[in-house]
Amino acid sequence: MALVDLFIGGTETTAAALAWAVAFLLHRPELQERLRAELWRELGPTGTPQVGDTGRLPLLHATVTETLRLRPPAPLALPHCARRHTSVGGIPVPAGSILIPNLLAAQQDPDTWHHPEAFLPERFLVPGAPWRALVPFGCGARSCLGEGLARAELFVFLGRILQEFRLEPPAPGVLPCLEVSAGTVLRCPPFRVRMVPCQPPA
């Protein structure tokens, strides 16, 4: 049952991340077009994105990565216990202290991220992008076991959706709210989307 619980939990967080990606893309229709052009150019009219295609589809990979940066599946990592006296950012941490990393805040730190609250996948396409500061699934021995699967699912699912459909708001100017609310999983507020079938260029 533990494996079932882990799988169900992973499904919930992956679905939440996919909803955030769609919501962000509704706010940036020009990015949708660039992603679709990349998919059609690299995979042709009938190709399907595969897990190993991140190098061929850098904008799609960057879009998934930026979604996870802005809206990590869970805002807080698992608790850690300091085994010895140490410090974090100059703040003393006595041995035995329980630390709960705030992943959401870390990934929007203005000292690390340029325009930290903006959805800018392009930031991961330039040299010197702060990849090492990206920890949407935690880090170390207590990082999420499902990280690889979640990233793969997001990459393939989002790619397939964008290959087949243009995402539009249900009415002009009716865009999803991008505000976050407290919770174990960061869920996007409910929204409606029109999925308009589209054809690759001849």
Q: Which residues are annotated as a binding site for heme?
A: 144
What the block records as the tokens of 33 is 């077009």
Return d(Cα 124, Cα 202) in angstroms, integer.
Answer: 31
Return d(Cα 18, Cα 35) in angstroms, integer.
Answer: 15
Q: Residue type for 23, please? A: A
| Cα distances (angstroms) measured from residue 104 to each of 129, 143, 164, 173 | 18, 15, 32, 28
Q: Which residues are annotated as a binding site?
A: 144
Nearest partner of 98 among 107, 112, 109, 88, judged by Cα: 88
Return d(Cα 142, Cα 144) in angstroms, integer.
Answer: 6
Return d(Cα 188, Cα 8) in angstroms, integer.
Answer: 18
User: What is the DSSP-derived secondary structure letter of residue 22?
Assistant: H
